[in-house]
Amino acid sequence: MTDMSAFDDSGRYIFIPHETKYGSGVTRYDSVTDKAVNLFKGDMNGASGNWSGDFSALDPATWTPVNTLPVGEEWSGQGRMFEVMNPMADVAAGETVIVNELNSIPNVSHEGGELYFVDEDRSGSIYKFVPTVKGDYSKGQTFVLSVDGYAGDPSSKPEKYPNNMPKERTGMATWVAI
Protein backbone atom coordinates (compact mmCIF):
# COMPACT_ATOMS: atom_id res chain seq x y z
CA MET A 1 0.00 0.00 0.00
CA THR A 2 1.26 3.46 -0.82
CA ASP A 3 -0.03 6.93 -0.05
CA MET A 4 1.17 10.53 -0.11
CA SER A 5 4.35 10.23 -2.13
CA ALA A 6 6.81 13.08 -2.62
CA PHE A 7 8.83 14.40 -5.56
CA ASP A 8 12.30 15.90 -5.49
CA ASP A 9 12.65 19.46 -6.81
CA SER A 10 13.44 18.27 -10.34
CA GLY A 11 10.36 16.02 -10.49
CA ARG A 12 12.52 13.14 -11.66
CA TYR A 13 12.36 11.09 -8.46
CA ILE A 14 9.24 9.93 -6.65
CA PHE A 15 9.59 8.83 -3.02
CA ILE A 16 6.98 6.22 -2.16
CA PRO A 17 6.38 5.38 1.51
CA HIS A 18 5.17 1.84 2.27
CA GLU A 19 1.97 1.75 4.28
CA THR A 20 2.30 -1.73 5.82
CA LYS A 21 1.77 -2.95 9.40
CA TYR A 22 5.40 -4.05 9.91
CA GLY A 23 8.57 -3.68 7.87
CA SER A 24 7.59 -0.39 6.23
CA GLY A 25 10.13 1.61 4.30
CA VAL A 26 10.52 3.98 1.36
CA THR A 27 11.15 3.33 -2.33
CA ARG A 28 12.76 5.89 -4.64
CA TYR A 29 11.51 5.67 -8.23
CA ASP A 30 13.51 7.26 -11.07
CA SER A 31 11.03 8.36 -13.75
CA VAL A 32 13.79 8.77 -16.36
CA THR A 33 15.37 5.31 -16.06
CA ASP A 34 12.14 3.58 -14.92
CA LYS A 35 14.06 1.99 -12.02
CA ALA A 36 13.05 1.73 -8.38
CA VAL A 37 15.28 1.19 -5.36
CA ASN A 38 14.20 0.41 -1.82
CA LEU A 39 15.95 3.02 0.33
CA PHE A 40 15.19 1.30 3.63
CA LYS A 41 12.72 -0.98 5.34
CA GLY A 42 12.00 -2.12 8.88
CA ASP A 43 13.18 -5.38 10.38
CA MET A 44 9.65 -6.77 11.04
CA ASN A 45 10.29 -6.95 14.82
CA GLY A 46 7.40 -4.57 15.48
CA ALA A 47 5.22 -7.68 15.28
CA SER A 48 6.69 -8.73 18.64
CA GLY A 49 6.57 -5.20 20.09
CA ASN A 50 10.17 -4.19 19.36
CA TRP A 51 10.02 -1.03 17.22
CA SER A 52 13.70 -0.06 17.59
CA GLY A 53 14.50 -1.22 14.04
CA ASP A 54 11.05 -1.35 12.53
CA PHE A 55 8.68 1.12 10.88
CA SER A 56 4.94 0.91 10.43
CA ALA A 57 2.46 2.45 8.01
CA LEU A 58 4.72 5.19 6.67
CA ASP A 59 2.47 7.68 4.98
CA PRO A 60 3.20 11.32 4.49
CA ALA A 61 6.43 12.01 2.65
CA THR A 62 7.67 15.52 1.90
CA TRP A 63 10.68 16.82 0.01
CA THR A 64 12.29 19.62 2.04
CA PRO A 65 14.25 22.71 0.97
CA VAL A 66 17.41 21.04 2.35
CA ASN A 67 16.91 17.86 0.25
CA THR A 68 15.78 15.57 3.05
CA LEU A 69 12.62 13.47 3.26
CA PRO A 70 10.44 13.50 6.39
CA VAL A 71 8.02 10.55 6.66
CA GLY A 72 5.56 9.65 9.41
CA GLU A 73 3.82 6.60 10.78
CA GLU A 74 0.09 6.79 10.22
CA TRP A 75 -2.08 4.08 11.74
CA SER A 76 0.05 1.67 13.73
CA GLY A 77 3.39 1.35 15.43
CA GLN A 78 4.42 4.30 17.53
CA GLY A 79 3.18 7.29 15.50
CA ARG A 80 6.70 8.61 15.02
CA MET A 81 8.15 11.04 12.47
CA PHE A 82 11.44 10.29 10.73
CA GLU A 83 13.70 12.24 8.42
CA VAL A 84 15.68 10.52 5.67
CA MET A 85 18.83 12.62 5.67
CA ASN A 86 20.20 11.37 2.33
CA PRO A 87 17.28 10.22 0.17
CA MET A 88 19.48 10.33 -2.94
CA ALA A 89 21.93 7.78 -1.46
CA ASP A 90 23.47 5.34 -3.96
CA VAL A 91 22.08 2.21 -2.30
CA ALA A 92 23.28 -0.02 -5.14
CA ALA A 93 26.87 1.06 -4.40
CA GLY A 94 26.44 0.26 -0.70
CA GLU A 95 25.81 3.78 0.59
CA THR A 96 23.90 3.64 3.88
CA VAL A 97 20.64 5.57 4.08
CA ILE A 98 20.50 7.66 7.26
CA VAL A 99 17.08 7.77 8.94
CA ASN A 100 16.72 9.91 12.07
CA GLU A 101 13.71 9.88 14.38
CA LEU A 102 12.36 13.40 14.87
CA ASN A 103 11.69 13.50 18.59
CA SER A 104 10.87 17.19 18.26
CA ILE A 105 7.55 16.36 16.54
CA PRO A 106 4.76 14.74 18.59
CA ASN A 107 3.92 11.06 18.14
CA VAL A 108 0.45 10.96 16.59
CA SER A 109 -1.20 8.98 13.79
CA HIS A 110 0.37 11.17 11.11
CA GLU A 111 -1.75 11.92 8.07
CA GLY A 112 -0.78 14.66 5.71
CA GLY A 113 2.51 16.08 4.69
CA GLU A 114 4.62 19.19 4.78
CA LEU A 115 5.01 20.27 8.38
CA TYR A 116 1.26 20.45 8.81
CA PHE A 117 -0.36 17.21 9.92
CA VAL A 118 -3.42 15.71 11.56
CA ASP A 119 -3.84 12.93 14.09
CA GLU A 120 -5.91 10.58 11.97
CA ASP A 121 -6.54 8.18 14.86
CA ARG A 122 -8.05 10.64 17.31
CA SER A 123 -9.69 14.01 16.81
CA GLY A 124 -8.48 15.00 13.37
CA SER A 125 -7.00 18.13 14.92
CA ILE A 126 -4.67 20.13 12.71
CA TYR A 127 -1.09 20.64 13.86
CA LYS A 128 1.91 22.49 12.50
CA PHE A 129 5.57 22.19 13.38
CA VAL A 130 7.78 25.25 13.04
CA PRO A 131 11.52 24.49 13.13
CA THR A 132 13.74 26.83 15.11
CA VAL A 133 16.13 26.96 12.14
CA LYS A 134 14.69 26.55 8.63
CA GLY A 135 15.47 23.08 7.32
CA ASP A 136 16.49 21.67 10.73
CA TYR A 137 13.58 19.60 12.04
CA SER A 138 15.39 18.47 15.20
CA LYS A 139 14.25 21.53 17.18
CA GLY A 140 11.17 23.66 17.04
CA GLN A 141 7.65 24.24 18.30
CA THR A 142 4.44 22.31 17.59
CA PHE A 143 1.11 24.14 17.48
CA VAL A 144 -2.51 22.93 17.36
CA LEU A 145 -5.24 24.87 15.55
CA SER A 146 -7.89 25.95 18.04
CA VAL A 147 -11.26 26.81 16.53
CA ASP A 148 -13.26 29.23 18.66
CA GLY A 149 -16.70 28.08 19.72
CA TYR A 150 -16.31 24.35 18.96
CA ALA A 151 -18.87 22.44 21.04
CA GLY A 152 -17.76 18.82 20.45
CA ASP A 153 -15.21 16.67 22.23
CA PRO A 154 -11.98 17.20 20.26
CA SER A 155 -10.36 14.07 21.70
CA SER A 156 -12.97 11.62 20.42
CA LYS A 157 -13.23 9.90 17.05
CA PRO A 158 -16.41 10.80 15.10
CA GLU A 159 -17.12 7.18 14.18
CA LYS A 160 -17.03 6.17 17.86
CA TYR A 161 -18.78 9.32 19.07
CA PRO A 162 -21.39 10.25 16.44
CA ASN A 163 -22.38 13.33 18.45
CA ASN A 164 -19.19 14.95 17.18
CA MET A 165 -20.26 14.59 13.53
CA PRO A 166 -22.75 17.51 13.48
CA LYS A 167 -20.48 19.79 15.48
CA GLU A 168 -19.15 22.42 13.13
CA ARG A 169 -15.52 23.40 13.32
CA THR A 170 -15.82 26.77 11.71
CA GLY A 171 -15.07 30.32 12.71
CA MET A 172 -12.02 32.17 13.82
CA ALA A 173 -9.05 30.02 14.79
CA THR A 174 -5.66 30.52 16.37
CA TRP A 175 -2.48 28.47 16.55
CA VAL A 176 -1.79 27.43 20.15
CA ALA A 177 1.66 26.23 21.18
CA ILE A 178 1.69 22.77 22.76
Confidence (pTM): 0.76
pLDDT number for residue 138: 83
Could you tell me if residue 114 is left (phi over 0), alpha (psi between -120 and 50 degrees) or otherwise beta?
A: left
pLDDT number for residue 170: 65
pLDDT number for residue 154: 58
The ranges assigned to domains in the chain are 6-177
Sort 4 into a burial class: Cβ within 10 Å, 0-12 / 13-18 / 19+.
buried
pLDDT number for residue 86: 97
Along the chain (178 residues), what's the average pLDDT of each consecutive run of 10 residues? 87 95 95 97 94 89 89 81 95 95 81 67 75 81 82 58 55 86
pLDDT number for residue 123: 61
Cα 13 from Cα 7, distance rounded (Å): 6
For 128, the enclosing helix (H) or strand (E) is strand 126-133
Asked if 82 and 70 touch (Cβ cutoff 8 Å), the reply is yes
pLDDT number for residue 3: 73
